[in-house]
Amino acid sequence: MQEWLIDKEYGELLGLLYTLFSEQRVTQTYQELTEKTGLRKEKIITLVQLFFAETSENLSMQDVEITLHSKSIGVIFHPTFHLNKYLSYFIKQSAAFQILETLFLDEFESVEKMAREINYSVATVQRKLKEIRIGLEAYDVKFSTRGKEYFGGTEMNIRYFFFCLYWKIYQLDEWPLTQVSEEKMSKAVEILYPENLEVEYVLENQLKIWLGVTEIRLKQGKNLRSFSKRRVPSSPFYPWEQFLSCYEKTIEQGFLLRGKNELNYLYLIIHYFHQPLLRDCQNLELEEQTLNDYLEEEAVTSWITTFEQVFSLELERYELFYLAVNLRPLFQFYQVHKGAIDPFGEEGLASVYQEKEPVWHIVHQKFQSELVQCKTHDFINYYIGNPRLSIIFGTLVQTIIENHRPVLKVLVYSKMGRIRRAMLEKKISENTEQRLKFVCSMEEQPDFIIGDQELYFKKMQEIPQIILHTFPDIMDWQRLRRYLAKLEIERLIK
């Protein structure tokens, strides 16, 4: 989240809510909160009172109960609580957003009138205008309130910024673009995403916001000056001819988008939001020329070549295409928008990814370190510093490697005999995610042994053994999962 986009006090309140929520404790002392947030007791009380004032008449935001005591705060979070809902609300209440929206909707007249309408001082509005000017530089967008053109730079970057802004505040039960009909945008998305094109619900809503921003800019006469179709190959999942047919239907519904530049750009955006799955590519009758079209970008081929070298893999054609068809739109999007793929940032995602996917985080770190050594396009260097994009790439890596995941051979032993051994094998399969093959003898060369007592046969001494209780508990399963994860990492990055 950009600091300039939200008022300081709202930002501090969000930080306090985050601390309270992450601790999940019914009571916290002011001293504890001061140590965690850096806020004094008086400031914490002021922020809680601000919270009461902002949410007392908003039923959708009454999903957290806060009680002030002399030395502590009592807090109860209801199951419906979500921090993003409060982030969205506080951004909309902030001066920067209200100023930006007034300019975007072409309703700005003067600084003085703006200050009266949003109930801020003229000095505050002028300070916010300077902060907005600096903030927009991340999108390669220029900004000035002098003259009739408030925003400068490419029309694509201007639209991208406002897409990011409105997507940031969009709660699915409240349409944020009041100047265009949500029903009309929903209908356009329904037409543009035919039934054979499987798209996530969230991505459908992203396209809806994108089309809404586009519609507003087109109403103001802000058209794209140039955008070559050569930037985007025709997708076998959604061929250009099929797209044109769907586009004609949106015109019948009154959508304003016209001209080849707008059409070419929209095709890129739909590519960007689609994200084909590996199974989609595996089931596709792929022509060689289609694969070559997607591999013609050096940044894409460098990424894939490095991937094959690092993990010693020889990819199938459908796997190559899976990587290329997902990487190519990201690269083109980066190229068109000057690298501003996710300037709002998702800093917390990197730590969450590391915590929730420790094995794949290490694997991806290995790949990333090798990628840095290559003479690659700026796009690859950019993704390394972009947490959200890095996770998308990490997921591509994970998908392909899981498709080639090594089979670990396991010999299971139980002092209770064959029936219990068979039950242990079933439980192990249910409580682990690795590809395991259960073997019955040492002649089959198991990678490790799992049993409810240690085996001391000489020929078994060099094979790792894991001891489970006859009736394993939670700690046993956690220990086994950690060991298997470690063993798999060693195999993957060998």
C-alpha 381/C-alpha 308 separation (Å) is 18
- So what's the pLDDT on residue 342? 57
Residue 434 CB partners (closer than 8 Å, separation 6+): 405, 408, 484, 488
Any idea where the domains of the chain sit in the sequence?
A: 3-90, 154-274, 281-403, 408-492
- Model pTM score: 0.79
CATH number of 408-492: 3.40.50.2300
More confident residue, 468 or 343: 468
The larger pLDDT score, comparing residue 256 to residue 469, is at 469
pLDDT reported for residue 1: 44
User: In angstroms, rounded to a whole number, what is the distance separating the alpha carbons of residues 241 and 189?
Assistant: 17
Closest among 110, 253, 128, 118 to 186, alpha carbons compared: 253
First to last CA, the chain: 38
What pLDDT does 43 receive?
94
pLDDT in tens, 12-37: 998 899 888 887 788 889 999 999 99
pLDDT at 254: 76
The segment with the largest mean pLDDT, out of 24-28, 158-162, 392-396, is 158-162
Provide mean pLDDT across the span 303-315: 87
Tell me the C-alpha distance between 32 and 41, whole Å: 10
Lowest mean pLDDT: which of 66-70, 110-114, 167-171? 167-171
pLDDT at site 278: 92
pLDDT tens-place string over residues 213-241: 999 999 888 888 877 766 678 888 888 89
Q: Which residue has the tokens 């006859």?
A: 470
Q: Per-residue pLDDT tens for 119-150?
A: 889 999 999 999 898 888 878 888 888 877 88
Q: Residue 99 and residue 87: Cα distance in Å, rounded?
A: 18
CB 263 within 8 A of CB 247: yes
3-90: CATH topology is Arc Repressor Mutant, subunit A (1.10.10)
Express as a percent the part of the chain with pLDDT over 90.
Answer: 17
Give burial (CB, 10 Å; 0-12/13-18/19+) of 153: middle
Q: What is the mean pLDDT of residues 270-292?
A: 87
Q: Are strands 72-77 and 64-68 parallel, antiparallel or unpaired?
A: antiparallel
450 has a pLDDT exceeding 80: yes
Instruction: Look at residue 261 and tell me whether its pLDDT is greater than 90.
Output: no
